[in-house]
Amino acid sequence: MDGMQADAPVRHDWSQADVEALFATPFMDLLARAHAVHAAHHDANAVQVSTLLSIKTGGCPEDCAYCPQAQRYHTGVAAQKLLDVDAVLAQARAAKAAGASRFCMGAAWRGPKDRDIPKVAELIRAVKALGMETCATLGLLGEGHAEALKAAGLDYYNHNIDTSPDYYGEVIHTREFEDRLDTLEEIRAAGLKTCCGGIVGMGETRAQRAGLLRALANLPEHPQSVPINQLVRVPGTPLENAADMDPFEFVRTIAVARITMPKSIVRLSAGRQQMSDEVQALCFFAGAGSIFLGEKLLTTGNPDVEHDHALFARLDLHPLQVEVDPPLPGSMRGDSLDGCCGGCDCAS
């Protein structure tokens, strides 16, 4: 292989030209190179399985052009309150039984208020007690929030940069690209693992897709989890009529993410429902090592569980076995749901 070898050191100094050159690599050569990198750092036949639940849906004040949960768009998504512990644990148990090792919780906030953090911490403790990894995506974090979530047992915090710095203003106007970088710094400083990626197929150019991956690969620390989402076009959002993305271009994006962030787990994320099994297989070969399992991702569709199980069997893939840190002392037991564990300031 030319250029970066499978055992090359992790880099944080990618130039725009470097990443664009990867995208321009002949397709078969690119996939071979990406697969070699993947196999050098990961079990190429194992896929980390997560499930994503919307714990607080709709009513978001942001204007992200792709999002059906923005209150300013008419998408049919009604605002709902934060789910209680019983409802979340029922979903978490079902996810674990279906093969998920990580349970991700998303709330449609610009950012949580101080009063929200103890309530989310209660959910984190309860899910953690089931023996699952925990992840949360709550928006911009305030002072002390990341530390409080970490103390509750949170493993990962998701905060995507969404797109390249030079295209960001075409998609979002209610927060700056730098706001996202600041939140990522808070997450790292608190000792949380980062889940950070973006969305493609929003009308960006190939150069801007390269800019997205360059921004991710040049972060001070590569995200441990890198979700690559393909736009799900939702009626009522500004991007409902976005042009179809060439599926092979999406596979290229997965491959370039794998090469530029060799130790990260690249997640084949939103948009799988619109992908053929064959395209998904190419993505796994190119370095995707994670999926979301479950019929819904927040408010949009996802392949059904049985279909994913069948696809894994056809491709001889198996779920990645994950060692989960034990619950912190005083955590709520997953089989005892009579109320708060007493270790937080929640109102319940």
Q: Which of 307, 226, 290, 293 is nearest to 53 (CA)?
A: 293
* 2 Cβ contact list (under 8 Å, min separation 6): none
The three-state secondary structure class of 323 is: coil
What backbone phi and psi angles, to 5 degrees, belong to 193? -75, 145
Known catalytic residue: 344? no
Q: Which of 333, 296, 344, 294 is nearest to 100 (CA)?
A: 294
Q: Which of 209, 252, 267, 272 is catalytic?
A: 267
Q: Which of 33, 102, 125, 135 is catalytic?
A: 135
Known catalytic residue: 93? no
The two three-digit tokens of residue 23, written as one number:
């995208």
Known catalytic residue: 110? no
Answer yes or no: are the C-beta atoms of 280 and 311 closer than 8 Å: yes
Q: Which of 307, 266, 310, 296 is nearest to 284 (CA)?
A: 266
Known catalytic residue: 196? no
- Dihedral over Cα of 207, 213, 218, 220: its sign: positive
Q: Which amino acid is at 137?
A: T
Q: Which of 195, 196, 344, 346 is catalytic?
A: 195
Q: Which of 33, 102, 104, 252 is catalytic?
A: 104
Angle between helical axes of 247-260 and 27-41 (0-180°, round to 10): 40
**R_g of the chain computed on alpha carbons:** 19
Catalytic residue positions, numbered? 60, 64, 67, 104, 135, 195, 267
